[in-house]
């Protein structure tokens, strides 16, 4: 097939056949189509978006461009959870053991962080001995034994997405809705998923700045997922302020362990908000997989699994199974920065803004994230936020603790915290954590 014809069809907005979409996916995965032609097609697809039917066919073609994880023998129900990415998003660390402790099988491939968006695999790197380097066969074997396995994205799954994503990144075509949808769903299908609960983030710290954009993405993921044979349940959640109190790898692991271990009354108000999100997605997963008959039954089961310590016990089993050699009752093994400084408010009033984007950029700049894929990250640095939107504060009250390695980093963080956290006279009504339920 002459790839110039495929580019020309897209440029004119003429629908692709299934065979053409398969040729694009397979040619991207094998490297047979040169980058300059794929880039031209991507820009054409950005300007003349794929229809839902084309997107579903392209999703399946990308999913079939590499290996497929065969979950045969893993006890059902299987549920995968995916987040479109945000600042302080450590949900998988709590939700995966929580769901496995409720009897679901959780097999999850996660990514490393890039830009202001953190990645689960980086957070897990904080645990001494823990390995995310499992083959699909290792993951299946582990899930059969203990109901949970979390590993880095396999290079063998949906290789077409890997090739196309790298080109989208450098050709300003990441933002195309059908390309985002096929990228996310192809990896889920190749990973063996049947049911996916999706956390579509909306706000300054996500790639959906407006609710309108998030609604469109959530609806497209659900529609196209259905056409591609997946059950997708997408909720929109707030990412105008970071999720929970911790932003930074070791700090986020510490917060996740606290949420799994402590009664709600002993958590900070930000961690309570994070716990609420975990409860919501936990209950949603139980409901959509038929493990609970109603929302209230599902929530009660999630709450009981957290409070009884069964979720924490599952986290212990999971970490040990993947080589982690730590005691979860004592977090002294977590990497710690050399400097900590409390940042306080100069004004009294109501917290109007804790800008997730600026907080994410501070964490990135002091080393918690990577600007390009090859960057090393510092697991110990980051921020702990002590307030959230709608809280009332008085002069001198701590707003955040900065965890840094140098006085320059502390100064940088303080300068930008002034912009990130705004306090005003008038009361502010915060957005709920779940902005639009699935």
Based on the residue annotation, tell me whether 403 is a catalytic residue of this protein.
Answer: no
Based on the residue annotation, tell me whether 183 is a catalytic residue of this protein.
Answer: yes
Dihedral sign computed on CA atoms, order 94, 99, 100, 105: negative
**Number of residues forming the site for ligand URA (CB under 6 A):** 5
Site map 78..97 versus ligand URA, x via CB under 6 A? ------x-------------
Q: Token pair 């093994």 is at which residue?
A: 333
CA dihedral 209, 214, 220, 226 (to 10 degrees): 140
CB of 128 to ligand URA, least distance (A): 29
Choose, by CB under 6 A, the member of 74, 124, 148, 184 that binds ligand URA: 184
* Residue 365 to residue 350: CA distance in whole angstroms: 28
* Residue 362 to residue 311: CA distance in whole angstroms: 32
Catalytic residue among 89, 122, 161, 199: 161
Measure CA 35 to chain center: 28
CA angle 83, 85, 86 (to 5 degrees): 125
CB of 190 to ligand URA, least distance (A): 12
Q: Any contact of residue 230 with ligand URA (CB under 6 A)?
A: no
Candidates 176-184, 267-275, 339-347, 378-386: pick the segment binding ligand URA (CB under 6 A). 176-184
CB of 29 to ligand URA, least distance (A): 16
Catalytic residue among 10, 108, 168, 287: 168
Reading the block at residue 341, the tokens are 């400084």
Q: Any contact of residue 158 with ligand URA (CB under 6 A)?
A: no
CB of 392 to ligand URA, least distance (A): 37
Catalytic residue among 90, 162, 187, 386: 187
* Residue 333 to residue 313: CA distance in whole angstroms: 18
| Residue closest to ligand URA (Cβ) | 183
Provide the total of helices (H) and of strands (E) in the chain, helices listed first.
16, 13
Backbone angles phi, psi at 237, to 5 degrees: -125, 160
Q: Any contact of residue 183 with ligand URA (CB under 6 A)?
A: yes
Based on the residue annotation, tell me whether 187 is a catalytic residue of this protein.
Answer: yes
Catalytic residue among 132, 183, 268, 337: 183
Choose, by CB under 6 A, the member of 40, 180, 221, 368 that binds ligand URA: 180
* Residue 60 to residue 235: CA distance in whole angstroms: 23
Strand-by-strand arrangement of the 349-354 sheet: 392-393, 349-354, 421-424
Contacts with ligand URA, residue ranges (CB under 6 A): 84, 174, 180, 183-184
Catalytic (active-site) positions: 82, 161, 168, 183, 187
């Amino acid at each position: 097939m002459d790839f110039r014809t495929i580019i020309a069809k897209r440029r004119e907005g003429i629908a692709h056949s299934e065979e053409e979409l398969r040729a694009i996916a397979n040619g991207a995965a094998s490297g047979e189509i040169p980058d300059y032609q794929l880039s031209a097609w991507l820009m054409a697809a950005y300007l003349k978006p794929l229809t839902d039917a084309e997107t579903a066919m392209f999703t399946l073609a990308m999913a079939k461009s590499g290996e497929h994880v065969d979950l045969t023998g893993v006890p059902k129900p299987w549920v995968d959870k995916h987040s479109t990415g945000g600042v302080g998003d450590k949900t998988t660390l709590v939700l995966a053991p929580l769901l496995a402790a409720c009897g679901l099988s959780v097999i999850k491939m996660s990514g490393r962080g890039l830009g202001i968006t953190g990645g689960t695999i980086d957070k897990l790197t904080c645990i001494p001995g823990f390995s995310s380097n499992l083959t699909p066969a290792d993951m299946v074997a582990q899930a059969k034994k203990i109901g949970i396995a979390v590993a880095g994205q396999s290079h063998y799954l949906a290789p077409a997405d890997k090739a196309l994503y790298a080109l989208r990144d450098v050709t300003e075509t990441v933002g195309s809705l059908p390309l985002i949808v096929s990228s996310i769903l192809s990896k889920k299908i190749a990973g063996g998923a049947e049911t996916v609960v999706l956390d579509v983030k909306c706000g300054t710290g996500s790639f959906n700045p407006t609710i309108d954009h998030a609604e469109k993405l959530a609806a497209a993921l659900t529609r196209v997922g259905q056409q591609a044979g997946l059950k997708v349940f997408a909720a929109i959640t707030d990412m105008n302020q970071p999720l929970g109190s911790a932003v930074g790898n070791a700090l986020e692991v510490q917060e996740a362990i606290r949420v799994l271990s402590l009664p709600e009354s002993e958590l900070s108000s930000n961690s309570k908000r994070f716990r609420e999100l975990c409860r919501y997605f936990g209950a949603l997963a139980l409901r959509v997989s038929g493990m609970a008959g109603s929302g209230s039954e599902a929530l009660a089961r999630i709450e009981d699994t957290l409070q009884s310590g069964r979720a924490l016990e599952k986290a212990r089993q999971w970490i040990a199974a993947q080589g982690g050699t730590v005691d979860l009752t004592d977090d002294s093994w977590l990497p710690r920065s050399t400097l900590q400084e409390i940042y306080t408010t100069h004004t009294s009033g109501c917290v109007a803004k804790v800008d997730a984007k600026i907080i994410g950029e501070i964490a990135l700049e002091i080393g918690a994230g990577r600007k390009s894929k090859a960057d090393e990250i510092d697991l110990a640095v980051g921020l702990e936020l002590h307030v959230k939107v709608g809280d009332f504060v008085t002069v001198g009250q701590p707003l955040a603790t900065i965890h840094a390695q140098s006085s320059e980093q502390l100064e940088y963080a303080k300068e930008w915290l002034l912009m990130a956290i705004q306090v005003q006279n008038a009361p502010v009504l915060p957005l709920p954590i779940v902005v639009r339920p699935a």
